[in-house]
Amino acid sequence: MRKLLTILGVIALFLLLALAALGGWAYYQFLYTTPLTPQEIEDLHVDWQDATRGNWTPWWDPGSGEPVWNPGASFNAWLETVPEEDKAWPLMLKAYFDHKAIFDHDLLGTIPTNEHDWAQLEPTLATADADAALTKVIEAFHKPVLGAWWSNTDMEPYEHAAQVAYAESNPETEPGEREVYHPGPMTFDSQANTAMIEVLLPSLGRQRNLTNFARSKAAYELQLGNAETFVSAMEATLAGSDLALEIPTLIGVLVETAVEHITLETIDWALANHRDEFDEPMLARLEHALAQHADASYVWQGEAMMVNDTIRRISDDHGAIKLSTLQAIESDYGFMGGGLGEPVNLPDAELHASSQRAILVDLLVLRSVSGQAELPWDGQPTDSWQFFEQERPKLNFISARFLDIMLPALEKASERIRHHTQSVVALRLGIAAHRHFERHGAFPETIEGIDDDLITFEPIDVFTGNPLGYTLTSDGPLVYSVGPDRVDNAGTQGWDTEEAWDGTPYRVKKRIEWWTTEQAAAYASDTSAQWDWVLFPIPQDEEPSPEAEYDPDWDLKQDGMFTEEGGAKNAPEDGEDG
């Protein structure tokens, strides 16, 4: 009997040790995070003023003298100090609701390059109503502050007031029209601790809408010979682009870049088709406006604040990311659907290692990718996902899963910004050549021949760091980059062919790819790769025929998911699960 008990004891001890070893393995496999070194703790520091322009910080003092993490209340407290006359958002809303029929037109943003759509939009642009709308948009876009409140529980106050006023002044709905929406009572709380990832950003959509209108209206006025109105509209859209950055998020950076790019494309079209309408002072004004927005940058600190904010809301009181909260948000709500709680108020240096390590990896990715937006480009793109995978072993399972969800393809944002920055440089060079023409009656033969005072910037080619290509054609100056293959082909644009919904082919510019120098060398003997990136004037894509029959499954067919007959490939048989 004693021997049996001894054997059972040994087995129990073995099992206990095995379970302890298994528990230890599971802990190190799923829950252990490599602690941060003192230097890494220092690296957690971010100067939030780079994202907030020094106006506020995510740490808000409710009056107790002990700041708490509440970026929304902090932002709204700052906004209360801004004079009403400095705010663009109330004027943007007034422009929209006073001229709603104009701003709801489906073809806003069209310019005369698309003859079919332009013919449908032009009568709207010719009205006195459109004249009044442009005056309001120009005034709004020159305001120094956007002025929309931080909220996610209801419409922010200005939007709510505008919706109520519109609904009450339009109580009757015309037959066949959508019923006028009334938002009901407002429940906005300026001190609510609203998660950054859940903030409603109606201003970004309105800004794009008003920008598209200004683009179309400016083009219309230029065709009438009103170059002064055109220049004023372009100055306004460029000035207003910064308004998108007021609540610092990555989407705001992308909207700012998009607004600026729409504007430069419009100016490019104007110079290519109506050069004689502009005198040298007008061109100087366009150059000055572009110069204010020439150094586009990836304001990564706003994205870092959002990740920090989100981590704090899915952590326990000790700042450790909770698996249960992460799973609930991921499976039941999604980050945009609610479920994020109140944030933990510990300083970054006192958070649990699981949160600290996730914040640090995000910061390292953001800092490395942000430098990829600058000109010239070094030809070695940062792969944020590859970098994350290198850091994954230092994270526990929960932190890694969080970053799996949260890390976007950040290098794509940098690509977009440097693409835009290169386009701005080229347009400024084109304007300099036109200003030279106004002074001397002839275009310069080379970049070096342009008057020195007209080029106050470096006309850098993003791919080489050398000056952009410049040549004269029968239509005037042509500016180009040598493109991803780094070979100068004298400004020969590359083209691809796409198919409309009815299968009709049409021609589009080749898409710019960001090859490394090694990849470029591999294409040295490939004649299909030997083309340049023409930047000014921008070559126009062909428009597919407007009579092409619309096929709602066209995209799926291109991806091989639908057959030409309309049936889904590999569709389950009747009775099988889909």
Residue 269 structure tokens: 């079209």
What are the tens digits of pLDDT across the range 245-278? Answer: 999 988 899 999 999 999 999 999 999 999 999 9
Q: Is the pTM of this model over 0.85?
A: yes
* Mean pLDDT, residues 129-150: 97
Of the listed ranges 34-38, 68-72, 566-570, the least confidently predicted one is 566-570
What are the tens digits of pLDDT across the range 211-226? Answer: 999 999 999 999 999 9
**For the chain, what percent of residues have pLDDT higher than 70?**
85
Residue 514 structure tokens: 């960001």
Give the span between the Cα atoms of 529 and 547, in whole angstroms.
33
Q: Where are the alpha helices (DSSP H) in 224-373?
A: 227-240, 250-273, 280-291, 300-313, 323-328, 353-370
Mean pLDDT across the chain: 86
Give the span between the Cα atoms of 232 and 235, in whole angstroms.
5
The band of 185, judged by pLDDT with boundaries at 50, 70 and 90, is confident
What pLDDT was estimated at residue 7?
Answer: 65
What pLDDT was estimated at residue 504?
Answer: 85
* Mean pLDDT, residues 96-105: 95
What pLDDT was estimated at residue 21?
Answer: 42
* Mean pLDDT, residues 499-520: 87
What are the tens digits of pLDDT across the range 509-518? Answer: 999 999 988 8
Give the span between the Cα atoms of 396 and 453, in whole angstroms.
57
Number of C-beta neighbours around residue 511 at 10 A:
7
Number of C-beta neighbours around residue 8 at 10 A:
10
Residue in 92, 89, 51 with CA at minimum distance from that of residue 71: 51
R_g of the chain, CA atoms, integer Å: 28
Q: Which of 28-42, 370-384, 453-467 has the highest mean pLDDT?
A: 453-467
Q: What are phi and psi of 331, to 5 degrees?
A: -90, -35
Cα angle 281, 284, 286; round to 5? 115
Cα angle 29, 399, 300; round to 5? 145
Residue in 552, 295, 282 with CA at minimum distance from that of residue 438: 282
Give the span between the Cα atoms of 311 and 329, in whole angstroms.
12
* Mean pLDDT, residues 169-174: 73
Q: What is the dihedral of CA 196, 208, 428, 515, to 10 degrees?
A: 60
Give the span between the Cα atoms of 98 and 346, in whole angstroms.
47
Which amino acid is residue 511, in one-letter code?
R
Query: Looking at 181-246, which runs of residues are DSSP E strands?
Result: none
118: CB partners within 8 A, 6+ apart: 110, 111, 112
